[in-house]
Amino acid sequence: MTRNQASGQAATRYTLEDLKRVMERLRDPEGGCPWDQKQSFETIITYTLEECYELAEAIEQADLKQIAEELGDVLFQVVFYSQLGSELGAFDLDTVIDGLVRKLVRRHPHVFVGEDLESRPEHEDLSVDVIKDTWERLKQEEREQKNVPGLLDDVPYALPALSRAQKLQKRAARIGFDWTSQEEVLSNLKDELIELHEAMISEQPADIEEEAGDLLFSVVNLIRHLGLDTESTLRAANKKFERRFRHMEYAARAEGKKLQDETLEQLELRWQYAKRQSAD
């Protein structure tokens, strides 16, 4: 309980310290929550990913109240991992926060001088591109200090495939291994489409899968060169498809019909109408 509650005064807002105490109580072998007591780093990974996706959905829906709630759920994941680390004597939440602050200060030399959080360097205004270059350079220096042998070696395998493809391409681009223009990327994309078509004609499943992968990787490359994020771009496309398809379903129900009973030609007419409606 908070200090005010303990003294019998009106409750105030709970703090980070209260959250840490809640986590300790949940994991307490005596009187804690049986479910929380059984969890480990490995078992809560799935929940962490779910909470992050729920936060992303709340942000896309511009639901500020839901964003605040989902942020709390994501924060709880951090506190949970930190409690597990504390029980192992490896790290605690304070260690996590200290490391994060030091890293942020180190990677923002255009904002801070040394480790003084209130320091302000004297310099001209820097462009976003210069700041990003500095950030990436400092990250690379950190990787070298950790003895990461290859440029791609610390790109997480657990990332969604589209995001990982984009990150791999960005890493390779740092040493100049990249197309120099959007037109070159588009030309390569057309070549990959031709190769996929040839594989389809050959009817060799392994070749088809390989060429389909190359085509998708090239699409990611084009999206990256357009200055877009693959994951958010596809999520937006998914939402658009859902919106139009639901319009088709609504229109069919209004006519006392079901989409599954209609011909492909009828479905195409509904789709085109839904597209026109969404464009209005």
Domain containing residue 92: CATH number: 1.10.287.1080
Amino acid type, 41: F
- Domain boundary residue, one of 201, 227, 253: 227
* Residue 177 belongs to some domain of the structure: yes
- Shared domain check, 116 and 85: no
Cα(141)–Cα(68) distance, rounded to whole angstroms?
Answer: 35
- Shared domain check, 211 and 179: yes
Residue 249's pLDDT is 94
- Shared domain check, 30 and 81: yes
CA nearest 78: which of 137, 35, 122, 19?
19
- Domain boundary residue, one of 70, 105, 140: 105
Question: In 174-258, where does DSSP find H-type helix?
Answer: 182-202, 205-225, 230-254
- How many CB atoms are closer than 10 A to CB 107? 19
How many domains, the chain? Answer: 4
- Shared domain check, 133 and 78: no
* Residue 123 belongs to some domain of the structure: yes
- How many CB atoms are closer than 10 A to CB 169? 19
- Shared domain check, 192 and 259: no
- Six-digit token string for 156: 């997480």
- Shared domain check, 85 and 9: yes
Residues making up the chain, counted from first to last: 280
Cα(203)–Cα(195) distance, rounded to whole angstroms?
Answer: 13
Write the burial class of residue 258 (CB in 10 Å: 0-12 exposed, 13-18 middle, 19+ buried): exposed
* Residue 222 belongs to some domain of the structure: yes
Q: What's the Rg (C-alpha) of the chain? A: 26
- Shared domain check, 111 and 81: no
For each of the chain's 280 residues, which pLDDT tens digit applies?
445 455 555 568 999 999 999 999 999 999 999 999 999 999 999 899 999 999 999 998 899 999 999 999 999 999 999 999 999 999 999 999 999 999 999 888 888 888 888 888 877 677 777 777 777 777 777 777 777 678 888 888 888 899 999 999 998 998 899 999 999 999 999 999 999 999 999 999 999 999 999 999 999 999 999 999 998 899 899 999 999 999 999 999 999 999 999 999 999 999 999 998 876 5
- How many CB atoms are closer than 10 A to CB 179? 18
* Residue 153 belongs to some domain of the structure: no
- Shared domain check, 220 and 236: no
- Domain of 271, in residue numbers: 229-280
- Domain boundary residue, one of 87, 120, 148: 148
- Shared domain check, 249 and 170: no
Residue 1's pLDDT is 44
- Shared domain check, 94 and 33: yes
Amino acid type, 204: Q
- Shared domain check, 137 and 95: no
